[in-house]
Amino acid sequence: MSELDTDIMYLKGVGPKRADLLKKELGVSTLGELIRLYPFRYMDRSSIQPIASVSQSLAYIQVLGKVVSRTLYGPSSSLLDTSGERIHWGAAKRLSVIVEDDSGRMEMVFFKAVKWNYERLVPGQSFIFFGKPSEFNGRWNIVHPEVDVPQEGSMAQGVLTGVYPSTEKLKNAGITGKVMCRLQSAALARCLPEISESLPDYVLGELGLCSLSYALKNIHFPADSYALEKATRRLKFEELFLLQLSLLKQKYIRSRADKGIAMPKVGPDFNACYNALPYRLTGAQQRVIKEIRADLMSGHQMNRLLQGDVGSGKTMVAVLSCLLAIGNGYQTCIMAPTEVLAQQHYSNIQKYLAPTGVKCALLTGSTGAKARREIFEGLAGGQIGLIVGTHALLEDKVIFKNLGLAVIDEQHRFGVDQRAKLWSKNTLPPHVLVMTATPIPRTLAMTVYGDLDVSVIDEMPPGRKPVRTTLHTPNRMPAVYKFMREEIAKGRQVFVVYPMIYENEKLDIQNLELGYDEIVKAFPFPPYKCAIVHGQQTSEVKNFNMEAFAAGRANILVSTTVIEVGVDVPNASVMVIMSAERFGLSQLHQLRGRVGRGAASSHCILIRDYKCSKEAIQRLELMCSTENGFEIAEEDMKMRGPGDLEGTQQSGLPISLNIASLAKDGQILSEARAYAQKVLDEDPTLDSPKNARLLHELRKEKYQIKDYSRIS
Ligand code: ADP
Ligand code: MG
């Protein structure tokens, strides 16, 4: 057995109990896995700052301080008696530790792991504290600093010491940072002689990357910052490169294996619609339609993701794509996530189709039995060329004569299994076009949809008015109401949106209803009419209220985020968002896209709670300064991490990354993708001897990636 596969239990200093814990807490069970657990940060012993130099301008600080005193606080900041034998830990809410160095004193504050920190931070002993400084009552403190024991003569040769992921349980079991370093050192000593290079020599040479064993050694024990940089770059590149290689290889294999319906013709309906368009397509729309046409002609099945900001004109692209398929004798469908949206699509699309001979129908959950029967007949007989609908389209009873193209709008709202059903609707798989208005950062799209083709509409139709976005606190509400009255007097309509606060639908609705009462008080009937929409209403009530607003019968629509998806009310010119700090940036952007669709100048008014972190305010200020959805999405991802991005939770990242970050390593990812493409262009199956190492790596479980096109 190789050292890499050796159970971690047999490493000096581990044993069965600690091995169990390492496995549970960190998912590490072999030596090979241990050495692939990298430090997430490095302590630079050369850069310890004197306490007196701490200032707000430092995002993070590291100080070496001797503990002067410890104080425990109970509920409501009452002092906890620590003089007796036993401390009542259940009552301990906060621990304050005063530390000093030659230059001054500061406070370390703990709200969690109070007992553990109290017991180890013994007065008279010195520790390294790392964290974000903040000022409170004129004194500097760090809340929940990372605490390390200064390591003199540790095995680290240089000044940089790795800090490993850890948990309280691990620390309690004695696996401190220092011990972890020792374990890594022992594991490396055993494994390094066995490490075989994972990338071909020509790749290392062309890109100037260091070897794997150099990288592993220096990621744990950097000789200096230059060595650390080389090691980091190599490991990040390797991870992203193999990932992209795997995704692109899949795409290649699929494009060879999957026959698709060839659609060489354009047909009269496309031309009739195109020539009657009330506007010129934007350059971006034209480009995307060309891309789709090339896919449809190719004889391979299309799997294309179409990204475009709210209002960028995706519907038109969808309709023209459908007309291409129809021109070749096939049927098409457009699936929307909600009934309201399906209806809206349907009425718009009917207008576009007027100059053509195409029959269009709408199928939703509330389509009556008789209409339903007729639709089923029209689909089975082939008379209906384009059907718009909701999930109802997925029912088994819906049978097409020959479905050639399925368009899915706002795909995040659909579950993976539901999408899979579309595949069974035809013998040859239909072409699939997925449209989303959630701008996914390029780096994420390359990964989540790495094997799909991505088109982007990055240009807005002319005439769209910018939305003026402003940020206020609740004391400005009277002024906001006044402004709303002025807009309503001009014949405009207003959205007021409340967030989900309680993660409990009942309480959220209560909160929303309280807000609604206030609005109704400020805007009494007559002359004002307010409507309310939320997730707990029946779809009948919801549709009724939504339509009342869409048709202009209500001046104000109070709602949770149900309006987020695609509803088009061109006459709405004001969007008020309450507790705006509780929304994600991408979500705010989506909401804002609901206004600015008509001729009026439009406004988005963000109301934030008084208590708001600095970061939250910064995020909201970004909303005020840009309307570029991609910029906002990138920023959102940087601040929150990709896992939190709306949409990615459902689809999930195809793999978990060990060292690279999609949010921060976009540059390396682009390089890795381009290089992977180049390697595959030369050797699509990676069968040539010089790529043997790559083929070997791709067989590893980590790179067995779910094929997203199969389920989209
Ligand atoms: P989304 O991408 O959000 O689905 P829509 O397709 O609903 O956007 O288009 C938004 C609005 O812009 C619609 O009212 C549509 O008629 C209009 N529109 C689309 N394309 C153009 C264009 N090229 N020029 C002018 N208006 C357009
Ligand atoms: Mg749309």
pLDDT digits (tens, 9 = 90+) for 297-336: 998 888 888 988 878 899 999 999 999 999 999 999 999 9
Cis upstream peptide for 527 (omega within 30°): yes
Which whole number is the average pLDDT over 553-561?
91
pLDDT band at 648 (very low <50, low <70, confident <90, very high): very low
> Angle 314-327/283-297 helices, nearest 10 degrees?
30
pLDDT digits (tens, 9 = 90+) for 212-240: 999 999 999 998 889 999 999 999 999 99
Q: Quote the CA–CA distance of 343 and 363 in Å, as a whole number.
A: 9
pLDDT at 456: 87
Question: Distance of alpha carbon 42 from its chain centroid, rounded?
Answer: 27
Give the N- to C-terminal CA distance of the chain in Å, as an integer. Answer: 42
313 Cβ below 6 A of ligand 1: yes
pLDDT digits (tens, 9 = 90+) for 98-114: 999 999 999 999 988 88
- In a 13 Å sphere around the CA of 616, the CA atoms on its Cβ side amount to 15
CA-nearest of 660, 624, 622 to 642 is 660
308 Cβ below 6 A of ligand 1: yes
pLDDT band at 406 (very low <50, low <70, confident <90, very high): very high
Pocket test for ligand 1, best of 286, 316, 344 (most atoms within 8 A of CB): 316
SS3 content of the chain, % helix, strand, coil (to 5): 45, 20, 35
pLDDT at 645: 46
245 Cβ below 6 A of ligand 1: no
Residue 5 Ramachandran class (φ > 0 left, ψ -120 to 50 alpha, else beta): alpha
Instruction: Compute the distance from residue 313 Cα to the ligand 2 centre, in Å.
Output: 7
Ligand 1 atom nearest to 593, measured from its CA: 3
315 Cβ below 6 A of ligand 1: yes
Q: Quote the CA–CA distance of 394 and 424 in Å, as a whole number.
A: 10
pLDDT at 412: 56
- For ligand 1, atom 15: residue with the closest CA: 313
- The answer, yes or no, to whether residue 420 has pLDDT greater than 80, is no
- For ligand 1, atom 5: residue with the closest CA: 313
289 or 143: which carries more pLDDT confidence?
289
Ligand 1 atom nearest to 318, measured from its CA: 6
Give the domains, in start order, of the chain with CATH numbers: 1-45+158-189 (1.10.150), 47-152 (2.40.50.140), 268-457 (3.40.50.300), 467-626 (3.40.50.300)
The encoded tokens of residue 709 equal 């096109």
Ligand 1 atom nearest to 312, measured from its CA: 2
> Mean pLDDT lowest for which of 41-55, 115-129, 546-560?
41-55
pLDDT at 300: 86
According to DSSP, the β-strands at 360-363 and 386-389 are parallel
- For ligand 1, atom 10: residue with the closest CA: 311
Q: Which residue has the tokens 């590893």?
A: 700
Q: Quote the CA–CA distance of 554 and 531 in Å, as a whole number.
A: 6
461 Cβ below 6 A of ligand 1: yes
- Tell me 525's DSSP state: T
pLDDT at 58: 65
641 Cβ below 6 A of ligand 1: no
pLDDT digits (tens, 9 = 90+) for 689-711: 999 999 999 988 777 765 444 43
pLDDT digits (tens, 9 = 90+) for 172-207: 888 888 889 999 999 999 999 999 999 999 999 999
341 Cβ below 6 A of ligand 1: no
Mean of all residue pLDDT scores within the chain: 86
- For ligand 1, atom 11: residue with the closest CA: 311
Residue 333, amino acid: C
> 528 near 516, Cβ under 8 Å?
no
- The answer, yes or no, to whether residue 637 has pLDDT greater than 80, is no
Which whole number is the average pLDDT over 74-90?
79
pLDDT digits (tens, 9 = 90+) for 612-622: 888 889 889 99
Q: Model-level pTM?
A: 0.65
Which whole number is the average pLDDT over 37-43?
86
Q: Collapsing DSSP states into helix, strand and coil, what is residue 64?
A: strand
Residue 556: exposed, middle, or buried by beta-carbon count in 10 A (0-12, 13-18, 19+)?
buried
Pocket test for ligand 1, best of 281, 287, 288, 312 (most atoms within 8 A of CB): 312
pLDDT at 646: 41
CA-nearest of 146, 149, 218 to 178 is 149
